[in-house]
Amino acid sequence: MDKAAFEPKIVAYCCWWCAYGAADLAGISKLTYPASVRIVRVPCSGRVDPLHVLSAFKAGAHGVIVAGCLKDGGCHYVDGNMKAEKRVKALKKALDSVGIGGDRLEMYFLSAGMPDKFVEYTTEFARRIERLGPVGLEMNRE
Partner 1 sequence: MSSREPRIGVFVCHCGLNIAKSVDVKALREYASKLHGVVYAIDYEFMCSETGQRLIKESIKNHGLNRVVVASCSPKLHELTFRRVLSEAGLNPFLLEMANIREQCSWAYLFEPAKATEKARHIVCASVGRSRFLEEIGDKEEPVKPSTLVVGAGVAGIHAALGLADIGFQVHIIEKNPFIGGIVAKLGNVFPTEDCGICIAPYSSEMHRKCLYKQQLINNPLIKLYTLSKLKSLSGYVGNFKARVVQAPRRIDERLCIGCSKCTAVCPVEVPNEYDLGLSKRKAVYVPFLQAAPHAYVIDGETCTKCRKCVEVCPTNAISLEQNPSTIDLEVGTVVVAVGFEEFEPLGLFGFGKNKDVITQLKLARMIDKKSGGEEIWKPSDGKPAQRIVMIQCVGSRDKGTHAYCSKICCMIALKHARTLKKADPDLDLTICYKDVRLPGRNYERYYTDCQELGVKFLWGDVTKVEGDADGPLRLDVDLATGGSTQLDADLVVLSSALTPSNDTLELSRILNLTLSPDGFFMEQHPKLAPIDTNIDGIYICGACQGPKDIPETIDQAIGAVARAAIPMIAGKIKIDLAKAIVDEDLCIGCANCAAVCPYNAIEMAPRGTARVIEAVCKGCGTCVVECPASAIQLRHFSDRQVLAAVEGILAED
SS (H, E, C) 37-81: EEEEEECCHHHCCHHHHHHHHHCCCCEEEEEECCCCCCCCCCCHH
- Name, in order, each residue with C-beta under 8 angstroms of 4's C-beta and a sequence gap of 6 or more: none
Among 19, 44, 100, 114, binds partner 1 (CB under 8 A): 44
Segment 4-33, which members bind partner 1 (CB under 8 A)?
Answer: 9, 11, 20-21, 23-28, 30-33
**134 has which bridge partners?**
none
By CB under 8 A, which span of 71-79, 94-102, 103-111, 132-140 interacts with partner 1? 71-79
Contact 11, 40 (CB under 8 A): yes
> Residue 124, interface with partner 1 (CB under 8 A)?
no
> Residue 59, interface with partner 1 (CB under 8 A)?
yes
Instruction: Give the residues lining the site for partner 1 (CB under 8 A).
Output: 9, 11, 20-21, 23-28, 30-33, 35, 38-44, 46-52, 55-56, 59-61, 72-73, 76-80, 83, 87
